[in-house]
C-alpha cells in the first residue's frame, strides 16, 4: 500500500510541499468543477501547515471563495474547547483567509453524538452531491497516531468494518471520549488522500503501515487505499527514517 512517498529534509520544507499540493489541487478542482472540497485533520503538524497557508505568501494562492472545508474527524467537544480540531483550524487558518462562513462545515458537536454524525453525513451529501454512495472529496488530509490510527479510526474498533455510512460516532475507550469520524469508505472515495507526518516518534508506525505486513485491525491506517484516487505520503526526514533505504532515496526531495 505504498502510494506515492515524498520525503522533505525539514519540517519547513514539508509544509511548503503540502501547501503547494493543496493550492494545485484547489486550482485544478475549481477550474474543472467550480469548487474545491478539502477535509482537514487536527494535530500539531497540520497546525503548522495551516499557519503557513494563512501567511501573506500563501493565502492568496487558494481561491477560498470557492473552497469548502470539512473535517475528517473531531472530538466530541464544544467548538470553543481547546481540544477541538475545528477551533485549532479556525485560529490557525480560517480566521486569516477570505473564506465565506457558509463554506466552513464543522462537525455539529452541539448535537448528541450519533445525531451529529448523521447530520454531518447529510452535510457532505448536500455539498458534494449525491451521485454516488460515497461522494468524493478533492483532498482529504490525514495524520497518523503512534498506535496506527488515522482520523478517529482506532485499532480494533467495530467501526473499521462500517461500509455504508459516511460518518459515524464512536466512544473510544483508549481516549475515554466520543469521536465523530469519516469512515474508511468515505476517506477512500477521495480524489487525493494525503498523510502529513513529521517527527521521529512516527518513524516506526510509518514503516509498519507502508512496508509492514497487513494487519489493519492493529494498524487502521493500512485500510486507507483510495479506490479511484491518489494516496500520497508527505513525510519529513525524521518520520521517514525507518523506511527501507531504497524507498527513502527514491522519495527524497
Q: Tell me: the pLDDT tens digits for 15-26?
A: 999 999 999 999
pLDDT band at residue 253, thresholds of 50, 70 and 90?
confident
Mean pLDDT of the chain: 96
Q: Give the range among 63-67, 107-111, 133-137, 139-143 with minimum mean pLDDT.
A: 133-137
> Beta-carbon neighbour count of residue 161 at 10 Å?
11
Mean pLDDT along residues 236-246: 96
pLDDT of residue 251: 86
pLDDT of residue 131: 65
pLDDT of residue 252: 83
Distance CA 21, CA 12 (A): 14
Percent of the chain clearing pLDDT 70 (strictly above):
99
Distance CA 124, CA 146 (A): 29
Domain 13-217 - what CATH class?
A: alpha beta
- Cβ(223)–Cβ(184) below 8 Å: yes
Residues 6+ apart with CB under 8 A from 41: 71, 72, 73, 85, 141, 142, 143, 151, 196
Mean pLDDT along residues 180-206: 98
Q: Phi then psi for 241, rounded to 5 degrees? A: -60, -25
Task: Judge whether residue 1 has pLDDT over 60.
Answer: no
pLDDT band at residue 163, thresholds of 50, 70 and 90?
very high
| Burial degree of 131 (CB within 10 A; 0-12, 13-18, 19+) | exposed
Distance CA 3, CA 224 (A): 10
Task: Judge whether residue 140 has pLDDT over 80.
Answer: yes
Model pTM score? 0.96
CA 95 from centroid of its chain's CA atoms? 20
Percent of the chain clearing pLDDT 90 (strictly above):
94
CA angle 39, 217, 132 (to 5 degrees): 40
- Cβ(178)–Cβ(171) below 8 Å: yes
Q: Give the range among 50-54, 71-75, 248-252 with minimum mean pLDDT.
A: 248-252
Task: Judge whether residue 2 has pLDDT over 80.
Answer: no
Higher pLDDT, 253 or 42: 42
Residue-wise pLDDT for 30-40, tens only, equals 999 999 999 99
Amino acid at each position: 500500500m505504498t502510494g506515492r512517498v515524498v520525503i522533505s529534509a525539514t519540517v519547513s520544507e514539508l509544509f511548503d510541499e503540502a501547501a503547494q499540493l493543496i493550492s494545485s489541487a484547489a486550482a485544478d478542482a475549481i477550474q474543472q468543477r467550480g469548487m474545491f472540497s478539502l477535509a482537514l485533520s487536527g494535530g500539531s503538524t497540520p497546525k503548522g501547515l495551516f499557519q503557513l497557508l494563512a501567511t501573506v505568501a500563501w493565502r492568496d494562492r487558494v481561491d477560498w471563495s470557492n473552497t469548502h472545508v470539512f473535517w475528517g474527524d473531531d472530538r466530541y467537544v464544544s467548538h470553543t474547547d481547546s481540544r477541538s480540531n475545528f477551533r485549532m483550524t479556525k485560529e490557525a487558518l480560517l480566521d486569516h483567509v477570505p473564506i465565506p462562513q457558509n463554506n466552513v462545515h464543522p462537525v455539529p458537536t452541539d448535537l448528541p453524538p450519533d445525531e451529529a454524525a448523521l447530520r454531518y453525513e447529510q452535510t457532505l451529501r448536500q455539498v458534494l452531491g449525491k451521485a454516488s454512495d460515497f461522494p468524493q472529496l478533492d483532498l482529504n488530509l490525514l495524520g497518523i497516531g503512534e498506535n496506527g490510527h488515522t482520523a478517529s479510526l482506532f485499532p480494533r474498533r467495530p467501526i473499521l468494518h462500517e461500509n455504508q455510512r459516511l460518518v459515524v460516532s464512536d466512544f473510544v475507550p483508549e481516549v475515554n471520549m466520543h469521536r465523530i469520524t469519516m469512515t474508511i469508505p468515505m476517506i477512500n472515495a477521495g480524489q487525493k488522500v494525503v498523510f502529513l507526518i513529521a517527527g521521529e516518534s512516527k518513524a516506526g508506525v510509518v514503516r509498519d503501515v507502508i512496508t509492514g505486513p497487513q494487519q489493519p485491525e492493529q494498524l487502521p491506517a493500512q485500510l486507507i487505499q483510495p479506490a479511484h484516487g491518489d494516496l500520497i505520503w508527505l513525510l519529513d526526514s525524521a518520520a521517514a527514517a525507518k523506511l527501507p533505504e531504497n524507498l527513502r532515496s527514491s522519495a527524497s526531495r
